[in-house]
């Protein structure tokens, strides 16, 4: 049996270089680094992203900045520089150990001049000290001569061609080298510090090259055939978000690294604790087992453990896609895994939203509404940072208007939902009284003010919105939006009653602060009772007004295809069909499942499944589709959708994994296993599991925390 904790490959394919950089990302929740090579490779997309380090950019407002590069580690055999694009690669092996986050690469290389060496790089970003990362390089030369090693800190990085860093200074303190930079607009300072040590072999020469913005240490070693040489590079990164004294702090952290083995042990212990909480065991399906661990790993390395001013973006910290912005992906797709297994991380991520309530209020006001309206895309300040216009890739002379920031308002209810879910699962009343309740109450206030009374029809509606299915823009009465808004307001009333009896002083405070007068609450009740919720006699829910009148095209007849329906038909073309990018009504039935009968779920599942662009639509879809297939008793279909999510990044199903991990798909995968195949369900009395495992799965086992108590679910198929 293969090791189901390893992601590995035995060949390097330059065509998939960027995809693999994403796959081999490592990190610790403070920062993460893409899997580019230490020595570089033509056109590589090197990237290190530190949570919260945003800087301004034209058009898209702000982006998570590519930090100064801590990886550079250049090897020259005599005067021939080691690089996989020259000479001959006689062996290549790369593996990521998900158990410990150690990335290893073994290359047997013959230089163009015929010198041979066996080179092994190992690196990890410590889970024990979030500011430190280490590289170890062993070279076994097959020739007599000299090998030069150059280790640098490189401040000349850009973020998709935009330079964000000013150079402030650099230097040495004894053996430690440091570099000090600052972002241009947000003026965040970042210091990196480095030590470079010989641990095996004889140095001939050792020098500090004081190149501006790339301080470098050069060590030349004697090479003899078969005699191993080993060097270690220790690095630390600290920003002014952590402390004002960034240089001193970075130097202190890097000097605190005792040695490789001690640092590795501490890191391994940290990971052992993470996996004790987070591992999910699947027996009988090696591909799914490894992929699930990989996806959990990717979320864990992006998870803010010690910072509640940040949250996880749609591409984690693994790529340039979506510029580090945070979407509903976080609360609806990623957060449940943390709520159930790592509540302190979930709380940090919800605190990020809480801290941005002021901006959300401003956001509502700007649009002429009350309460809190969270941005569709969020960054450091909580303002709306969705780009308004983007270039049209098919016609460079035109721009495309992006409407999501204007009208994809369901995110406010999604955040309220995740807040409530966190409270119910963890029982964290203190946090809820102090922070969570306010999120739910103020988003409810927004929904009540946004509802429009239709005099003719005699009901409230939400017009001109975008639901989860983004193939259809400017729709009226999107069922998901209307029902989630109603849920938000209903829940707010329940929360207010609860506060009145459990935390009366806080209830009074919030009533005054948010102006929750009797009249306002009466309006909420009126909207709740009179909101338009489109549903037919059969239980079939129309996704939005007029959806059933749109062109009904046969998706199956368009197979085989390798593009999304939107790329085939164009934005307007797709808008005129019933094809949807991702579950919309079905995700509503997933989130508010207890309010719908099995028959309702089946009717909607049967209608919307063939209308969904499962393979090339949104990567958010397949996991939810899988859960709903379990709900309607179709385990084979559930598995088919599940496998799409399993392969989303590892097999680059959409051809865009180079931009970063599809984090919502990763979180959805965890939910598909836990709420789909295991059928975990929290009830007021406790919890229950209603498994429907794929036929070849022999066992499914995981842990979760319910009201602070560790629970185990262990489902075994009878032989």
The residues annotated as belonging to the active site are 470
**Residue 322 has which token pair?**
């979506």
Query: Half-sphere exposure of residue 45, counting CA atoms within 13 Å on the CB side?
Result: 25
- Beta carbon of residue 314, minimum distance to ligand BGC (angstroms, whole number): 4
Length of the chain: 719
In this structure, are residues 680 and 674 in contact, taking their beta carbons and an 8 Å threshold?
yes
Q: How far apart are the C-alpha atoms of 629 and 460, rounded to whole Å? A: 32
- Beta carbon of residue 327, minimum distance to ligand BGC (angstroms, whole number): 4
Residues that bind ligand BGC (CB under 6 A): 314, 327-329, 468, 470, 581-582, 618, 620, 664
Please name which of 199, 214, 193 lies closest in space to residue 256, comparing C-alpha atoms: 193
- Beta carbon of residue 376, minimum distance to ligand BGC (angstroms, whole number): 8
Which stretch of DSSP H or E encloses residue 521? helix 518-530
Q: Which residues of 182-221 are buried (b: 16+ CB within 10 A; e: fewer)?
A: bbeebebbbbbbbbbbeeebeeeeeeeeeeebbbbbbbbb
Q: Which residues of 99-125 are buried (b: 16+ CB within 10 A; e: fewer)?
A: bbbbbbbbbbbbbeeebbbbbbbbbbb
Helices (H) and strands (E) in the chain, counts: 21, 29
Sheet holding 216-223, edge to edge: 80-81, 73-77, 145-152, 216-223, 203-209
**Residue 682 has which token pair?**
């929290």
For tokens 């919502």, name the residue. Answer: 664
In this structure, are residues 629 and 635 in contact, taking their beta carbons and an 8 Å threshold?
yes
For tokens 């150079």, name the residue. Answer: 167
Instruction: Please name the residues in contact with 9: beta carbons below 8 A apart, sequence gap of 6 or more.
Output: 20, 92, 93, 94, 95
């Amino acid at each position: 049996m293969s090791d189901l904790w390893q992601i590995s490959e035995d060949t390097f394919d330059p065509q998939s270089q960027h995809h693999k950089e994403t796959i081999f990302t490592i990190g610790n929740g403070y920062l993460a680094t893409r899997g580019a090579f230490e020595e570089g490779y033509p056109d590589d997309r090197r990237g290190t992203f530190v949570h919260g380090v945003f800087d301004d950019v034209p058009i898209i407002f702000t982006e998570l900045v590519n930090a100064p590069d801590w990886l550079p580690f250049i090897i020259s055999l005599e005067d021939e520089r080691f690089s996989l694009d020259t000479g001959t690669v006689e062996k290549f092996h790369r593996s990521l150990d998900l158990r410990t986050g150690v990335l290893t690469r073994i290359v047997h290389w013959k230089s163009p001049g015929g010198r041979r060496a066996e080179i092994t790089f190992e690196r990890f970003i410590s889970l024990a000290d979030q500011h430190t990362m280490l590289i170890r390089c062993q070279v076994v030369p097959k020739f007599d001569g000299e090998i030069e090693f150059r280790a640098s800190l490189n401040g000349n990085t850009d973020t998709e061609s935009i330079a964000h860093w000013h150079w402030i200074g650099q230097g040495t303190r004894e053996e430690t080298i440091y570099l000090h930079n600052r972002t241009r607009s947000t003026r965040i300072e970042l210091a990196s510090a480095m030590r470079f040590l010989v641990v095996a072999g004889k140095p001939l020469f050792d020098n500090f090259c004081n190149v501006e913005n790339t301080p470098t240490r050069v060590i030349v070693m004697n090479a003899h055939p078969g005699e191993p040489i080993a060097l270690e590079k220790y690095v630390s990164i600290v920003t002014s978000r952590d402390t004002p004294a960034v240089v001193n702090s970075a130097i202190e952290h890097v000097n605190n690294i005792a040695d490789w083995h001690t640092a590795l042990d501490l890191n391994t212990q940290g990971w052992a604790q993470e996996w004790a909480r987070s591992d999910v065991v699947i027996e009988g399906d090696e591909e799914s087992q490894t992929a699930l661990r990989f996806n959990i790993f990717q979320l864990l390395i992006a998870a803010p453990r010690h910072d509640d001013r940040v949250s996880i973006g749609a591409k984690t910290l693994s790529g340039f896609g979506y510029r580090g912005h945070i979407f509903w992906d976080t609360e609806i797709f990623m957060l449940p895994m943390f709520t159930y297994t790592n509540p302190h991380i979930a709380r940090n991520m919800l605190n990020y939203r809480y801290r941005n309530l002021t901006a959300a209020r401003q956001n509502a006001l700007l649009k002429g509404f009350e309460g809190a309206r969270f941005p569709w895309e969020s960054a450091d300040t909580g303002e709306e940072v969705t780009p308004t216009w983007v270039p049209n890739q098919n016609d460079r002379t035109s721009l495309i208007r992006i409407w999501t920031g204007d009208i994809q308002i369901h995110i406010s209810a999604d955040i309220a939902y995740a807040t409530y879910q966190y409270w119910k699962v963890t029982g964290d009343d203190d946090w809820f009284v102090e922070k969570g309740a306010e999120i739910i109450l103020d988003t409810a206030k927004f929904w009540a003010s946004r509802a429009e009374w239709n005099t003719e029809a005699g009901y409230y509606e939400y017009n001109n919105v975008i639901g989860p299915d983004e193939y259809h823009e400017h729709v009226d009465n999107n069922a998901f939006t209307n029902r989630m808004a109603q849920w938000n307001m209903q829940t707010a009333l329940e929360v207010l009653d609860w506060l009145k009896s459990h935390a009366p002083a806080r209830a009074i405070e919030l009533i005054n602060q948010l102006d929750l007068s009797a009249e306002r609450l009466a309006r909420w009740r009126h909207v709740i009772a009179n909101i338009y919720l489109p549903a037919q006699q059969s239980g079939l829910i129309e996704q939005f007004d007029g959806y059933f009148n749109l062109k009904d095209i046969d998706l199956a007849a368009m197979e085989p295809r390798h593009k999304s329906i939107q790329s085939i038909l164009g934005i307007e073309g797709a808008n005129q069909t019933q094809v949807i990018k991702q579950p919309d009504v079905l995700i509503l039935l997933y989130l508010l499942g207890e309010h719908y009968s099995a028959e309702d779920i089946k009717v909607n599942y049967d209608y919307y499944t063939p209308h969904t662009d499962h393979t090339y639509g949104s990567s958010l879809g397949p996991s939810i589709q899988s859960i709903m297939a379990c709900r309607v008793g179709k385990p084979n279909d559930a598995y088919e959708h599940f496998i799409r999510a399993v392969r989303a990044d590892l097999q680059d199903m959409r051809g865009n994994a180079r931009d970063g991990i599809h984090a919502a798909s990763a979180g959805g995968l965890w939910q598909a296993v836990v709420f789909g195949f295991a059928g975990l369900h929290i009830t007021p009395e406790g919890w229950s599991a209603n498994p429907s495992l794929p036929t070849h799965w022999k066992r499914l086992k995981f842990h979760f925390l319910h009201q602070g108590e560790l629970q185990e679910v262990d489902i075994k198929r009878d032989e």
